[in-house]
Amino acid sequence: MTYRSFLIYEFLVLWRRKQDVFNALLFFIIVVILFPLGVSAEPAFLAQAASGIIWCGVVLSILISIDHMFKEDYQDGSLEQWIVSGLSLPLLMLLKVMANWVVIILPLLIMMPLLSEMLFMPNTSFWALVLTLLVGTPGLFLIGVMGAALTVSVRQGTMLVMLLILPLYLPVLIFATSAVQAAQSGLPYSGFLAMLLALSLMSLVVSPFMTAMAIKASVSG
Amino acid sequence: MSWLWFHKLGSPKWFFFWSKSWALPVFCIGCFGLVVGLVWGLAFAPEDYQQGNSFRIIYIHVPVAMLAQSCYLAMGVAGLIFLVWQMKIAPMFIKAIAPIGAVMALMAMVSGAIWGKPTWGTWWVWDARLTSVLVLFLLFMGVIALQNALEDITLANKAAAIMSVVGLINLPIIKYSVVLWNTLHQGPTFTITKKPEMPAEMWLPLLIAVVGLYCLVAGLLLWRIQSEIILREHRSNWVKQEVMGNGL
């Protein structure tokens, strides 16, 4: 096993289990639909709330998809293979997160123009939204993967992952929606983007090691 | 400086007998301090010129809020100690302190809400401090839930330690982000660098109540750790002798 073969394997697995990715995306769309139907379909309200709705949907669908990121690998023994492969486990975790991020976030970004139109989002803030998604979601994945690794041996771990990880998502959510709202009212938002980038970079420093530690503990246990 | 005391903490047996003699005195001092602070604060301290009598909830609110934060800090440090030095006491400490911290956070929110109703006119506002205490509560609950969900004890130890360290890293960020987001709460009552802005007869009982609650929680914590030690080490000989000799 090399890093390259690992990455290719990850993409292949994700490709062959397309339904999981589709589920996450469909879940995202459903969450976004709930708000206009449940709260108000007024264009004025939706334009205000669009960034928050989309970000909440993104957070939830990432959590849904991240929850079973390690489940299969845990059951079929891949985790042991990674540990004994002699490759650096934190780096492998990083590659896995990368593969998942690409597979989930790219389709999401492609859907974004459509959804922002449905939510009457002004054009001025659309690119801010795309930028916050690009800069902020790596952090979400990196934080979430720690929760997934910690709960890999729990049979019904979805709720637990939510409980563990959602509080840690709050800063990302706050900075992202602040950025979009700043853009909406014509203010500069590069500061918020910088904060998002800082959060993502910081989780890049902490998360792979913590994830690797959790994986090792789960396997030996 | 000798590091012997630190390494001794790694031994459950040593910790058990050490804490056995400390738990009760510390707890009693804590109870005494808390009662003195509360009675003094609630009955004898002067009224606030703006808030009237409703300010008196500070004597409950500030101690529990400080404890909630301190508990998380201590839990995170214990997690770090476990990850670095593999000390056996650390996960027991985490297990013992998490519910206490959760209760403290909850009490801080409840007492704050009771104070907020007459003062701000609402039970809850989406304010920085309130939100961060709520998040603190959720983080405590997360650690408790994680420990309960994992059946394997070594895994549960490690997972709780990782989670509390991650939470500790994140807590300042969460705090900063919600402060930036929205704040209405007044500034801190005690800071290390500045003299309190209240008169002494108002802050002195508060200080006594805070110190008292710290001691009380420390006593409770020692007891909880002791029972955790007995539970986890029940196979070892010294526990058998202890239980046979002195009872539970």
Q: Containing domain of residue A127, as a range?
A: 3-220
Residue B85: per-residue pLDDT: 87
Distances (CA, A) of B228 to A92, B31, B92, B215: 37, 23, 6, 20
Structural domains in chain A (count): 1
Distances (CA, A) of B233 to A161, A169, B92, B96, B99: 30, 38, 11, 15, 21
Whose tokens are 């669908």? That residue is: A61
Residue B140: per-residue pLDDT: 93
- Contact list in B for residue A208 (CB cut-off 8 A) is none
What does the block give as tokens for A202? Answer: 């910081």
* Residue A206: closest C-alpha in chain B: B166
Say if the Cβ atoms of B166 and A206 lie within 8 Å: yes
Mean pLDDT of B224-238: 86
- Contact list in B for residue A155 (CB cut-off 8 A) is none
**What is the CA B27 to chain-centroid distance, rounded?**
14
Q: Is the pLDDT of residue B189 over 80?
A: no
* Residue A217: closest C-alpha in chain B: B155
Mean pLDDT of B117-132: 80
Residue B248: per-residue pLDDT: 63
* Residue B168: closest C-alpha in chain A: A168
Count of C-beta atoms within a 10 Å radius of residue B235: 7
Averaged pLDDT score across all residues of chain B: 84
* B230 contacts B239 by C-beta, under 8 angstroms: yes
Residue B116: per-residue pLDDT: 83
For residue A154, is it left (φ>0), alpha (ψ between -120 and 50) or beta? beta
Distances (CA, A) of B205 to B35, B63, B105, B202, B226: 10, 11, 21, 6, 31
Residue A109: per-residue pLDDT: 92
Task: Convert the pLDDT of each residue in B107-118 to its tens digit.
Answer: 999 998 888 888
Q: For the ranges A7-16, A115-124, B47-56, which has the lowest average pLDDT?
A: B47-56
Of B118, B126, B89, B77, nearest in space to B226 by CA: B89
Say if the Cβ atoms of B167 and A157 lie within 8 Å: no
Task: Convert the pLDDT of each residue in A138-155 to its tens digit.
Answer: 999 999 999 999 998 888
The interface residues of chain B toward chain A in range 112-141, judged by CB-CB distance below 8 A, are 131, 135, 138-139, 141
Say if the Cβ atoms of B146 and A150 lie within 8 Å: yes
Residue B122: per-residue pLDDT: 80
User: How many residues are given for chain A?
Assistant: 221
Q: Is the pLDDT of residue B185 over 60?
A: no
User: Which of B86, B148, B163 to mutate: most A Cβ within 10 Å?
Assistant: B163
What does the block give as tokens for A184? Answer: 């909406």
d(CA B156, CA B133) in angstroms, rounded, equals 25
Task: Convert the pLDDT of each residue in A170-215 to its tens digit.
Answer: 889 988 988 998 888 888 888 889 999 999 999 999 999 999 999 9
Residue A26: per-residue pLDDT: 93
* Residue B176: closest C-alpha in chain A: A171
Task: Convert the pLDDT of each residue in A98-145 to its tens digit.
Answer: 999 999 999 999 999 998 888 888 888 888 999 999 999 999 999 999
User: Which of B139, B162, B175 to mutate: most A Cβ within 10 Å?
Assistant: B162
Per-residue confidence at B217, pLDDT binned at 50, 70, 90? very high
Confirm or reject contact between B154 and chain A (CB < 8 A): yes
What does the block give as tokens for A169? Answer: 């998502």
Q: Where are the beta strands (DSSP E) in A67-180?
A: none
Number of A–B residue contacts, CB under 8 Å: 81
User: What value of ipTM does the predicted structure carry?
Assistant: 0.84
Q: For the ranges A6-20, B10-24, B135-149, B180-194, which has the lowest average pLDDT?
A: B180-194
φ, ψ at A9 (rounded to 5°): -60, -45
Gap from B174 CA to chain A (nearest CA, Å): 5
- Contact list in B for residue A202 (CB cut-off 8 A) is 169, 173
Gap from B201 CA to chain A (nearest CA, Å): 39
Gap from B117 CA to chain A (nearest CA, Å): 26
